[in-house]
Amino acid sequence: MPSFNQSIFYPAVFFLTGIPGFETYHAWISIPFCCLYATAISGNGMILFVIISESSLHEPMYYFLSMLSFMDLGLCLSTLVTMVGIFWFNAREISFDACIGQMFFIHGFTFMESSVLLAMAFDRFIAICNPLRYATILTNSRIIKVGFAVVIRGTVALVPLLLLLKHLSFCQSHVLHHSYCFHPDVMKLSCTDTKINSAFGLAIVISTAALDAILILLSYVLIIHAVLSIASPEHRKKAFGTCVSHISAVAIFYIPMISLSLVHRFGKNAPPLVHTLIANVYLLIPPVMNPIIYSVKTKQIRNTMLKIFLSKLI
């Protein structure tokens, strides 16, 4: 473990952490991690390719799904280099500016994914509660505007947060708990007052992910009310079936995020291994699981993938 002089200030060099206590097995541990990365990248890449290449999938629901896959792909690629560097080459050092850049992409893609999940909830709400106006409400031009709004919302809020971080001084241990730079983790290492940073970070989380979660919940309250009013049990089951994939995606996105936030806020005495494992679950499970969920549960995606695969095979 590196030792540090108490007079070190910005610019700082941070040291990322692999799996605490299992450093000698990092080469073996990298195998499942590489499999997860390969699954996430290939799965989301396949979803994007299928939606772009198949004209029958050029519909609002699949446009939003392609946005979700793009966010998951960006989230994976944001941490791939540091993760591989730690496990294969024990390259744990990361400069302060590189750390800021990685945080921008990790948190940016996370907030964008939250916005896309909200847009997908709105899509399901319109499809079930107002199907006759679905095509007139979710036009291509409006979907493009939603895409721009998602990107702007996910990036603009981060700029002042990261600028505030650059004004902090770091004179404690520079060892982070994760294999990537995470804002609360970096902020904890500062030896100056971080009340403004903490308050601003909390405000951003509340105004993005927390607000999105509340609106998604509200959407499903209205969807359930509309579905229960359908007389036919078969139609009711079919309406609920169109929401299963999205509900699963929401669960695998928010549960790891909430768990990681709780560990950072209340788990100061938790073993470092707990921090690391939850951080890796938060990072990798949604990008790995989303393509699997939508491939299994969405008939059009599954059939198109099979058609492409069989045509290549023949």
Q: How far is the C-alpha of 11 from the C-alpha of 144, rounded, in Å?
A: 40
Q: How far is the C-alpha of 184 from the C-alpha of 270, rounded, in Å?
A: 15
State residue 10's pLDDT score: 53
State residue 7's pLDDT score: 43
- Mean pLDDT per 10-residue run, the chain (314 residues)? 45 85 91 95 94 90 96 95 93 93 95 96 93 92 95 90 88 84 89 90 93 96 88 80 90 93 80 86 93 87 82 71
**Phi, psi angle pair for 201, to nearest 5°:** -65, -40
- Those residues whose C-beta lies under 8 Å from the C-beta of residue 311, and which sit 6 or more positions away, are none
State residue 274's pLDDT score: 85
C-alpha R_g of the chain: 21
Q: How far is the C-alpha of 223 from the C-alpha of 240, rounded, in Å?
A: 9
Quote the pTM value. Answer: 0.92
End-to-end CA distance of the chain: 55
